[in-house]
A and B are shown apart, each in its own frame.
Chain A
Amino acid sequence: MQIFKQGLSRKRAEKDSQQEKRFQQLITIRRVWRYIHTYRARVLVALGMAVINVVTTLYVLKAIGDAVDCIVGPGAVDFVALIMVLKRIGFSIVIASAAQWTMNLLNNKVVYQVINDIRRDAFENIQHLPFSYIDGHAYGDVVSRMIADVDLLADGLLMGFTQFFTGILTIVVTLFFMFRESVIIAMVVVVLTPVSIFVARYIAGKTYHLFKTQSQIRGEQTGLIEEMVGSQKVVQAFGKEADAAAQFEAVNRRLETASVNAIFYSAITHPATRFVNGLVYAGVGIVGAISVVNGTLTVGILTGFLNYARQYTKPFNEISGVVTELQNAIACAARVFELVDAEREVPDAEDAIADRAPRGDVALDKVCFSYEAGIPILKGISLRASAGQKIAVVGPTGCGKTTLINLLMRFYDADSGSISVDGIDIKQMTRAGLRGGYGMVLQDTWLKTGTVRENLCFGNPGATEAEMIEAAKRARVHKVILRMPNGYDTMVSDSGEGLSQGEKQLICIARVMLTKPKMLILDEATSSIDTHTELAIQEAFLELMEGRTSFIIAHRLSTIQNADEILVMNAGEIVERGRHDALLAQGGFYYKLYTSQFAGDFVM
């Protein structure tokens, strides 16, 4: 009994979850409809055109039969009637093709516009998403939602719908024409129809899974190729070529089996359709011909029937494919709208202070923060930086330095405690206002795809040529830029071909120089910068910092020695603070950090 009950409740739960799924799908479809709604007139006209197209196309098939009836035999051809019929055919094909053309154009318009609208909204929404979303989702995933999924959604949903509609319509109209002409032959067709439905559904179901398996194994193989070819130097250094090849072969064999299955089963569709068509054709031919012999049918009507029979299975094929396509599209749509409707960050308060030139006094008061509940990253940080002061932040990896930047710029909001600029809580300022007061140079340099000029003027599009060159010179990057193929008009991108990491950082410094902020956030690069560039960066940083409140995540002794205050962080807390000499004299955590990096006789 107990077991029975459990089984029952599980069944109920399953049912509930299915209902829940249905409900979700419904919501998704309604959400999509809101986008299509704008173009509903076009959609309606397109559907009207589909009706016209289907009816006229099928009429032409019948009319060809009428024409054949005018061609009875030698000396018995009714030319007057034949011309009439041929004129009607001519007229119909013009209408049918015009309707089809209009329908195609309207469908295109709607599909591409809907794609455009959804992508724009997705992009727009991303601009307002909190960083917890952006940092918490793989970039590739978000991009594929925006691009691939939107394509599939629009294509699948709209095209699927159109196909479904015309398919059903074709079947209904064909049946109508057939039953009007001859009930017996129509019955033959109707009896044979289930065969074609069965075949079509069987193949569609089978291939869907086979293709899924194939693409999954293919993905696995691509991953392996990426790994082994991408890291070939390591493979060779360790002499692992043979192992890699064996590993590859195993996946390759699996892919072979999966591909043969997928390709073969999907390739059966055409022959199978042709075969069922052939059956219908033969059935219609036999019954029709006998009816003609019995005098209940003309040769022309038989021809018309044969024409119908030839293309009767086509709509069934299309419809059977549509169901999986639609389901797929809905799944994509759900993923898309998860992004489009993702909750935005808390908007700026209405009375938030927007535009003002800050003095540059920054204060943190008992700031606590955690990305995940229960894992505190910052534990009650307090500090005060007066206008123009240089604050260096040092500490081991993971001590919370980067998080500090996130909070100062309000990329994230503190859990408790407050941060203020010139005595005003930053939550009472607009984000734009707050961020406008800062200049930020991160270790992970980012350049947008565009010319060097566009990148330099990113924060200050109104800068004059002279101002831009002046900033580039002060950032020690002018000469580097002049050496590039097209100088300031050289195209660069985030992957930054042709630019070293250090050079990219110099461009980022110049970019900030042009905006003349009152406060600075600098994240020094830890490594991989050559000596000359390194010197250039240090000089540029020093010049940039002059007269500005600066927070520097420091890795360089020169920076540290020049700081007004050094904050030594460890495990989310400020463990020591003061100037370089004083901290050294303390002989504490800072002393240990410092000596392991810069001083002492090395063991090696």
Chain B
Amino acid sequence: MRSMLKYIKGYEVQAVLAPLLKMMEASFELIVPIVMKWIIDIGISNGDQTYILHKGALIVLLGVIGLICSVTAQYFAARAAVGFSTKLRQQLFEHIESLGFSEMDSVGIPTLMTRMTGDVNQVQAGLNMLLRLFMRSPVIIIGAIFLSFSIDVPSALVFLGSTVVLAVAIFMIMYTGVPLYRKVQGHLDLILTLARENLTGARVIRAFNKQKEMAATFKREHDTLTDMQLYVGRIMASMGPLTYVMVNIGTILILWVGGVRVQSGDLTTGAVVALVSYMAQILIELIKLSNLIINLTRGIAGGKRVEAIFAIEPKMKKNTPEKSEPDTDISDTDISDTETYDTATSKPAAPDAAHVRFDHVSLSYYDDGEEALSDISFSAKSGETIGIIGGTGSGKSSLVNLIPRFYDATEGRVSIRGKDVREWPLTDLRACIGMVMQRSVLFKGTVRENLKWGNSAATDEALWEALRLAQAETFVREKKGGLDAAVEQGGRNLSGGQKQRLCIARALVRKPEILILDDSASALDYATDLRLRSALAGLEYKPTIFIVAQRTSAVRGADQILVLDNGAVVGMGKHDVLLETCPLYSEIDRSQRGGADANL
């Protein structure tokens, strides 16, 4: 947890003052019963009305100061806790942004989401509570015990005993109850799943006439939930009555011992009244303290989970600019510098030279894990189209993901324009690649904003051109607002095919040197797909194109087709050649053309 202390920076003053001010308020609160004791023992006994008025005014004054202290403290605590979590969240977001694909894969997006939202909020709540209560409650509890000892030792022993018993009772109930609550929560999640499934599967359920059975399952599980809730409820329901009984038994004992001590002249009536007041105060603070501890443990647990995310170092070095002659005094290489350096040669010198080249490339996602790609070698000339085909898990996506360096090859090297991708500044490398991923992802905003991801400087004309090439012009024109048409989060308001075409357009806006289509035309109908492919073939800037596909029809026109099986290249060449030489390819082709079912 220590590493997170740095986020409190800028709020140190508030973080220190908040508990101190709370402590002051608590001290004033503790003085009030003493003042009342004076009123009873001195004011009333002497019949001194002025004294009573003065002391009464003192109580009001204590209240006013207490209020000021505590309101200020609450503000400081809120400020510090929220400021802390705001910074933490921002840093966490940026850290997550910096993680590479392999780290993202191993942690998983849902986990990261929870860390960013629920866990950070828990840390915030824990810190806020801590700042507000960690001085107050203990000060009141310890202070009250201390003061009771200063008033009268035998009564104070009763007092101390009751406090200990109370504390034990409260913490025991909390510690049995709270984990049970968590279990209930778990079962509630199951109820949620059932409710959701009943909707997502409504068609299947009705097709099989299983409505009654589903309802019966739901009832059964919900009855279990209700039983669990009642069980936990029984435990927690005892908390109030139990503590009430204990506090009042303490009060009875104090009244009795007090009576004996007053009789012998060792104690005043006012002192007994003060002791009874302290008893009531202690109960409230004990309950608060147990809440604080629970919140704190949650906050700490959340904090540890957040810390674990920070501990993940992006394995990939982002920027290792190649310097043949080491510059003596510039240790931090300016990125913009290398940018000009690299993009100066915007096209490879020799048109025949390999544009993208794989040299004995192997990739495993985990250390000692199975190889997703093994010993891949090929080279693509500038402007060529490379088709990549194979079954699920054959390594098609892995292969193209190596080009923009989403992952680093475990062995061998991938080079672009003759230079190892690991030696490219990452931003420059990715800037010259247009990537269309398998899952079409669009962002909340307008069509224009989404397209400009490809190139923030693109003119409307360029955007329309890209849309036209991606076969998306017609439907965007038909949309209200055209380029300014709204795109909802995740592109919910668009069909699968529309999303795919916008994603393709987004990549084209960039006029990329290398265009990668990772199985990204699956939702297009045959005719649209065909038009798209011929548009891509006619691009005047002649990018090198990689097409990952499931069907041979999508790659049959490619200059080179790589057939992957289990991470290895089992065939390479043009369509006609592969039909002859590569059994897997011809099998795929036959199955898609319907040759496999001659038995019907």
Identify B251's interface contact among A89, A229, A285, A442, CB under 8 A.
Answer: A89
Cross-chain contact A271 with B233 (CB below 8 angstroms): no
B344: Cβ under 8 A from any A Cβ: no
A165: Cβ under 8 A from any B Cβ: no
Cross-chain contact A147 with B195 (CB below 8 angstroms): yes
Given contacts A231-B443, A268-B71, A527-B519, contact A538 B596 (CB under 8 A): yes
Question: Which residues from chain B contact A561 at a C-beta distance below 8 Å?
Answer: 594, 597
Identify A93's interface contact among B53, B67, B248, CB under 8 A.
Answer: B248
| Alpha-carbon distance A201/B526, docked complex (angstroms) | 65
| Alpha-carbon distance A78/B495, docked complex (angstroms) | 88
Cross-chain contact B39 with A285 (CB below 8 angstroms): yes
Question: Which residues from chain B contact A306 at a C-beta distance below 8 Å?
Answer: 36, 273, 277
Question: Which residues from chain A contact B430 at a C-beta distance below 8 Å?
Answer: 236-239
Identify B90's interface contact among A76, A234, A252, CB under 8 A.
Answer: A252
Cross-chain contact A238 with B262 (CB below 8 angstroms): no
Question: Which residues from chain B contact A147 at a C-beta distance below 8 Å?
Answer: 188, 191-192, 195
Question: Which residues from chain B contact A310 at a C-beta distance below 8 Å?
Answer: 277, 280
> Using an 8 Å CB-CB cutoff, how does the interface string of B496-520 with A read, 1 for contact, 0 for none?
0100000000100000000000010
| Alpha-carbon distance A534/B85, docked complex (angstroms) | 50
- One of A15-23, A110-118, A324-332 at the interface: A110-118
A36: Cβ under 8 A from any B Cβ: no
Cross-chain contact B113 with A226 (CB below 8 angstroms): yes
B5: Cβ under 8 A from any A Cβ: no
**Residue of B with least CB distance to A142:** B199
B13: Cβ under 8 A from any A Cβ: no
Highest count of chain B CB atoms <10 Å: which of A90, A229, A598: A229
A211: Cβ under 8 A from any B Cβ: no
Cross-chain contact B272 with A71 (CB below 8 angstroms): yes
Cross-chain contact B591 with A535 (CB below 8 angstroms): yes
B226 to chain A, nearest CB (A): 5
Cross-chain contact A73 with B262 (CB below 8 angstroms): yes
Question: Which residues from chain B contact A230 at a C-beta distance below 8 Å?
Answer: 109, 113
| Alpha-carbon distance A97/B241, docked complex (angstroms) | 4
Can you list 27 pairs linking A and B with CB atoms under 8 Å apart?
A: A68-B272, A100-B240, A101-B240, A112-B233, A113-B226, A116-B222, A123-B195, A123-B215, A226-B489, A229-B96, A264-B79, A267-B78, A270-B70, A271-B74, A272-B67, A275-B63, A299-B273, A303-B276, A409-B203, A432-B209, A446-B201, A458-B210, A528-B392, A531-B588, A538-B597, A556-B594, A601-B557
**Residue of A with least CB distance to B190:** A449
Cross-chain contact A260 with B78 (CB below 8 angstroms): yes
B208: Cβ under 8 A from any A Cβ: yes
**Residue of A with least CB distance to B559:** A604
Cross-chain contact B206 with A502 (CB below 8 angstroms): no
7 closest Cβ contacts across the A-B interface?
A: A604-B557, A278-B63, A530-B391, A602-B557, A530-B392, A286-B56, A104-B237
Cross-chain contact A279 with B558 (CB below 8 angstroms): no
- One of B44-52, B173-181, B353-361, B464-472 at the interface: B44-52
Interface residue SS majority, chain B: helix
Tell me the chain B residues, 257-307 only, with Cβ under 8 Å from chain A.
258-260, 262-265, 268-269, 272-273, 276-277, 280
B556: Cβ under 8 A from any A Cβ: yes
Given contacts A115-B226, A116-B226, A229-B113, contact A60 B591 (CB under 8 A): no
A44: Cβ under 8 A from any B Cβ: no
Question: Which residues from chain A contact B265 at a C-beta distance below 8 Å?
Answer: 74-75
Question: Which residues from chain B contact A435 at a C-beta distance below 8 Å?
Answer: 206-209
- One of B157-165, B324-332, B372-380, B528-536 at the interface: B528-536
Given contacts A89-B248, A435-B206, A558-B596, contact A278 B62 (CB under 8 A): yes
Tell me the chain A residues, 229-269 only, with Cβ under 8 Å from chain B.
229-241, 244-245, 248-249, 252-253, 255-256, 259-260, 263-264, 267-268
**Residue of A with least CB distance to B48:** A293
Interface size range of chain A in the complex: 35 or more
Interface residue SS majority, chain A: helix
Question: Which residues from chain A contact B48 at a C-beta distance below 8 Å?
Answer: 293
- One of B97-105, B414-422, B476-484 at the interface: B97-105
Cross-chain contact B59 with A227 (CB below 8 angstroms): no
Cross-chain contact A240 with B211 (CB below 8 angstroms): no
B343 to chain A, nearest CB (A): 14
Cross-chain contact A289 with B523 (CB below 8 angstroms): no
| Alpha-carbon distance A268/B113, docked complex (angstroms) | 32
A529: Cβ under 8 A from any B Cβ: yes
| Alpha-carbon distance A557/B551, docked complex (angstroms) | 12
A190: Cβ under 8 A from any B Cβ: no
A172: Cβ under 8 A from any B Cβ: no
Cross-chain contact A494 with B200 (CB below 8 angstroms): yes
**Residue of B with least CB distance to A104:** B237
Cross-chain contact B202 with A593 (CB below 8 angstroms): no
Question: Which residues from chain B contact A82 at a C-beta distance below 8 Å?
Answer: 255-256, 259
Cross-chain contact A532 with B222 (CB below 8 angstroms): no
Highest count of chain A CB atoms <10 Å: which of B81, B234, B534, B591: B591
| Given A238-B506, A449-B193, 12 extra CB contacts under 8 A | A76-B263, A100-B244, A108-B230, A124-B215, A142-B199, A245-B94, A249-B90, A278-B62, A542-B600, A593-B526, A604-B534, A604-B536
| Alpha-carbon distance A560/B237, docked complex (angstroms) | 67
- One of A1-9, A127-135, A315-323, A462-470 at the interface: A127-135
A561 to chain B, nearest CB (A): 5
Question: Which residues from chain B contact A293 at a C-beta distance below 8 Å?
Answer: 43-44, 47-49, 52
Given contacts A104-B237, A249-B90, A279-B60, contact A123 B78 (CB under 8 A): no
Question: Which residues from chain A contact B124 at a C-beta distance below 8 Å?
Answer: 259
Cross-chain contact B93 with A233 (CB below 8 angstroms): no
**Residue of B with least CB distance to A103:** B237
| Alpha-carbon distance A285/B117, docked complex (angstroms) | 49
Identify B82's interface contact among A142, A238, A259, A515, CB under 8 A.
Answer: A259
Cross-chain contact A146 with B594 (CB below 8 angstroms): no
A96: Cβ under 8 A from any B Cβ: yes
Given contacts A237-B404, A268-B71, contact A397 B597 (CB under 8 A): no
Question: Which residues from chain B contact A272 at a C-beta distance below 8 Å?
Answer: 67, 71
B215 to chain A, nearest CB (A): 5
A265 to chain B, nearest CB (A): 9
A569: Cβ under 8 A from any B Cβ: no
Given contacts A232-B97, A432-B209, contact A256 B241 (CB under 8 A): no
Question: Which residues from chain B contact A221 at a C-beta distance below 8 Å?
Answer: 117
A459: Cβ under 8 A from any B Cβ: yes
Identify A282's interface contact among B60, B89, B188, B280, CB under 8 A.
Answer: B60
> Using an 8 Å CB-CB cutoff, how does the interface string of B121-155 with A read, 1 for contact, 0 for none?
00010001000100000000000000000000000
Given contacts A116-B223, A225-B93, A225-B116, contact A108 B229 (CB under 8 A): yes
Question: Which residues from chain A contact B333 at a C-beta distance below 8 Å?
Answer: none
Cross-chain contact A120 with B219 (CB below 8 angstroms): yes
Cross-chain contact A281 with B269 (CB below 8 angstroms): no
Cross-chain contact B522 with A527 (CB below 8 angstroms): yes
Cross-chain contact B198 with A68 (CB below 8 angstroms): no
Cross-chain contact A126 with B117 (CB below 8 angstroms): no
Cross-chain contact A557 with B116 (CB below 8 angstroms): no
B592: Cβ under 8 A from any A Cβ: yes
Question: Which residues from chain A contact B453 at a C-beta distance below 8 Å?
Answer: 234, 238, 240
| Alpha-carbon distance A225/B115, docked complex (angstroms) | 11
Identify B59's interface contact among A77, A278, A458, CB under 8 A.
Answer: A278
| Alpha-carbon distance A64/B93, docked complex (angstroms) | 58
| Alpha-carbon distance A368/B406, docked complex (angstroms) | 51
| Alpha-carbon distance A398/B66, docked complex (angstroms) | 70
Cross-chain contact B59 with A256 (CB below 8 angstroms): no
Question: Which residues from chain B contact A86 at a C-beta distance below 8 Å?
Answer: 252, 255-256
Question: Which residues from chain B contact A128 at a C-beta distance below 8 Å?
Answer: 211
Question: Which residues from chain B contact A515 at a C-beta distance below 8 Å?
Answer: 208
> Using an 8 Å CB-CB cutoff, how does the interface string of A379-400 with B read, 1 for contact, 0 for none?
0000000000000000011000
Identify A558's interface contact among B56, B203, B433, B597, CB under 8 A.
Answer: B597
> Using an 8 Å CB-CB cutoff, how does the interface string of B542-573 with A read, 1 for contact, 0 for none?
00000000100100111000000000000000
> Using an 8 Å CB-CB cutoff, how does the interface string of B20-43 with A read, 1 for contact, 0 for none?
000001000100100010011001
